[in-house]
Structure 1
């Protein structure tokens, strides 16, 4: 497929230019584009009524726009949401992303959960209205063609949640780095690595899920001397430390059971290579990932 043809390339590298497909269709963003689908479980999703002079003006879509050169899709989506809808920093936590890749141009939808309620504000001239729309009412609006096409698949995932439960003792024991001399210190190192993993997320294919990238929550179960590790919950809300009062396996089974029974549906993975524990948590509805899988994800973190 032939590459894009840019009209009026912007010397500031903002990406604000048209890209033309081989068949003549035009797409906004030299470096692609991205948008934020902010989901509030009470109010619905945040949609933008696009001003008439914009591309597909008069339709409803997500706050979003062209990515800057070198800007990640996630950063671009949150920047555009702040610029167009006044979405406050830290108010939305990313959960997964979905990419439409045409080869010469791509659009990334970043789906996030509202963790700090806010009211959107029209902060630039590109919006006629910003509105929280209940999920069942989205289809009643005249939608931007691209959003209309992607909405059914996005809608199917919105009410699901994902948590990875970590058998810290088993994971730490899988790497002979001297942990037996300082179990609390080894647990601290694991928690620090998991903070970064929670922030960067995990490629969807590594979890056997659809779309492109996921940001699951983590619950890390510590037992024995490892319980003296620092509590890092305040630094990264997506990571919760659970200190087992006794044997870690019993706490892990309890945590998995509680998560798996939640409504709306909750997908749970347990990271352990202990065969007996694997069988017990599978019986409670958990999927299984081995300790080696987690170390591979940690080792792949960018510096």
Structure 2
């Protein structure tokens, strides 16, 4: 089929808080799209009402539970030359939200994919965190199971870029505690809560302080920003060197637990190996 006869897939960012953040382009796409695929059709109707927009196209649901089954139907609409608008509850589709499958399928068929940029919890949190923004990575949601979460964070312990995470409010304290365990309690971070909303709050500080703050309970949408690791000096594999470095850090006031973790990261070995080396001589 001639590419000019194909439709266009439009990924549109929706407000993460205030409806005033919606762009005029979003309103225009909502009013003219042939098909609107929405993560929650009720929220879509509410958004259209608040924007004063009347939709003229077909509205279908497109969420995690039906994403696989609904994608072929939407691809058929695109192949038929229709303009398909994809919106999620908040932010940009496919970023920790439904959308990736549809984008990938559209690309396979040489269908044009474009976006209506707008609100982003990732970029908003990064910008207000006060942490380095020159290089960063988005890690989405951490695994819910403790073991898997610990393994993921251990893998990230040496990451030098600023890291951005999403987290559920009731798991925020647990996530921060796991980060403190993996990265060290003195690692700088920020908890960004209810971004752009009436009760927006940004809490900054070392991870260990943020764990204590979160113990009183956290409400609302949460985005966590954690500074990356400092470039580490080369540390060899000699246990005597590990013991010496741990001792030096303890003399500087670092807790033994954190000193062991730091040396293990720098040496590129499991912290248990450094722990065993240190306590063998204790």
After TM superposition, is the score higher than 0.5? Answer: no
Give the TM-score normalised by the residue count of structure 2. Answer: 0.25
| Higher alpha-carbon Rg | 2
Give the TM-score normalised by the residue count of structure 1. Answer: 0.24
Q: Which has the larger share of strand?
A: 1
